[in-house]
């Protein structure tokens, strides 16, 4: 998948520097919902000398190209996730977020026909071309609810 990401960057005319290739390569190895700071610590542990500023700039460029998704789960920092199809497996999914411990649960939701129906309706009503959507549900996880 690393190569797929690099290919996508090349196609989009993105200048691939050594630092950027270190960052994109690490995106498949770092935890799935990473922060810029988390990625920085991950790279430091591997003795990669990439500055936090370069990480921010690269993540911002990758977000603009829609190769990664940026989320605000109300933690005061952004989380990022790869948004590139891995083989036949679609990466599209949504999130349950525990507001107490920050636990994140991925779920697939496009079995919600009503969601697609709503999207179609809004698209027609506002002549708005919908290219993607996000759904985040906030609450308490099993552990936190029983405390």
Q: Which residues contact Zn ion by CB under 5 A?
A: 81, 98, 100-101, 103, 106, 109-110, 141, 144
Q: How far apart are CA 96 and CA 17, in angstroms?
A: 36
**Residue placing its CB nearer to Zn ion in the complex, 57 or 93:** 93
| Least distance from Zn ion to the Cβ atom of residue 124, Å | 19
To the nearest 10°, the Cα dihedral for 45, 8, 35, 40?
30
| Least distance from Zn ion to the Cβ atom of residue 61, Å | 21
Q: How far apart are CA 103 and CA 95, in angstroms?
A: 10
**Residue placing its CB nearer to Zn ion in the complex, 29 or 100:** 100
**Residue placing its CB nearer to Zn ion in the complex, 4 or 70:** 70
**Residue placing its CB nearer to Zn ion in the complex, 101 or 137:** 101
Q: How many CB atoms lie within 10 A of CB 86?
A: 11
| Least distance from Zn ion to the Cβ atom of residue 141, Å | 3
Phi and psi at residue 107, to the nearest 5°: -145, 150
| Least distance from Zn ion to the Cβ atom of residue 105, Å | 9
Q: How far apart are CA 85 and CA 98, in angstroms?
A: 27
């Amino acid at each position: 998948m690393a190569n797929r990401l690099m290919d996508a960057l090349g196609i989009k005319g993105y200048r691939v520097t050594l630092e950027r290739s270190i960052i994109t390569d690490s995106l498949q190895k770092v935890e799935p919902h990473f922060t810029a700071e988390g990625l920085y610590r991950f790279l430091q542990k591997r003795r990669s000398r990439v500055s936090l500023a370069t990480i921010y700039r690269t993540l911002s460029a990758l977000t603009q190209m829609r190769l990664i998704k940026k989320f605000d789960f109300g933690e005061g920092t952004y989380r990022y996730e790869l948004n590139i199809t891995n083989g036949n497996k679609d990466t599209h999914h949504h999130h349950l977020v525990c507001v107490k411990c920050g636990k994140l649960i991925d779920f697939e939701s496009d079995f919600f026909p009503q969601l697609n129906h709503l999207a179609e309706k809004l698209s027609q009503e506002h002549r708005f071309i919908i290219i993607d959507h996000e759904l985040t549900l906030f609450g308490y996880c099993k552990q936190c609810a029983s405390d």
